[in-house]
Amino acid sequence: MDGVYLIVALGAIVAGLIQGISGFAFGLVAMSFWAWVLEPRLAATLAVFGALLGQLIAAITVRRGFDVKLLAPFVLGGLVGVPLGVALLPRLDMDWFKALLGMLLVLWCPAMLLSRSLPRVRLESRLADGAVGLAGGVLGGLGGFSGTLPTLWCTLRGFAKDRQRAVIQNFNLSMLLVAMGIHLGSGLVTRDVLPLFAIVAPAMLLPSLLGARLYIGLSEARFRQIVLGLLTLSGLALLAASLPRLL
């Protein structure tokens, strides 16, 4: 059990730092550690808790503009998606969960790194934004991954770093508040989870604050390389662990 606590703390430290720098990705990074030692529903509940705490820290330390017109379609779509993601949790298989998460990381992160050379998406559609928000909400309900697809979408649309952070930070905070409420209401947060909450919260606090300070000083290209490089390695590790069992 001590080894489990150590991995939970290590995942929270790394994920807190990455989320502080990028404004998202706590669940993705933490799950690359926790999926090895925790069952999916427990890991997802911890990821939602940690991601929400990180977004609250970011809302205080890295303030960005609140554009209701831009944000509304993402949030409305996400509000539909979060309950769907939570409903999928009991049906997850651990090996498939690792494989799908790892595939998402391996495919998504290099695409983001290459996004400067990809054609920009010129489509300005609230319906498209809402669909991306819906997908982000589903991933948020599954384990705090709500910022993944909206971040890719904002990058492909050519948003500046601060404008992208404004969308992702406020979207994530909204989705994670809803997801945490659903987790609490559905009984996923039990007494057994509380000691792990007590590990995650202090473990991620200082790394999140450090990451927020690093974000201010880093260029967009540099912080993207650091974050996506780490996420790609995490995805490869998950695939290496799950694919041999599935095949």
pLDDT tens for residues 46-73?
A: 988 998 998 888 877 766 566 788 889 9
For CA atoms 83, 165, 64, 218, give the dihedral sign. Answer: positive
In a domain, 87, yes or no: yes
Task: Give the tokens for residue 167.
Answer: 């969308």
In this predicted structure, what is the pLDDT of residue 147?
79
In a domain, 20, yes or no: yes
In this predicted structure, what is the pLDDT of residue 195?
92
Rounded-to-integer distance, Cα 221 and Cα 116, Å: 10
Helix 148-156 crosses helix 94-113 at what angle (to 10 degrees)?
20
Whose CA is closest to 182, among 70, 55, 88?
88
Query: Whole-prediction pTM value?
Result: 0.78
Highest mean pLDDT among 88-92, 95-99, 132-136, 156-160: 132-136
In a domain, 89, yes or no: yes
In a domain, 247, yes or no: no
List, for residues 75-94, the tens digit of each pLDDT value: 999 999 988 988 887 777 76
Task: Give the tokens for residue 244.
Answer: 């041999």
Backbone angles phi, psi at 39, to 5 degrees: -70, 155
In this predicted structure, what is the pLDDT of residue 79?
92
Coil, helix or strand at residue 67: coil
Reported confidence tier of residue 196, pLDDT bands at 50, 70, 90: very high
Coil, helix or strand at residue 62: coil
Count: domains in the chain:
1
Domain that holds residue 120: 2-241
In a domain, 246, yes or no: no
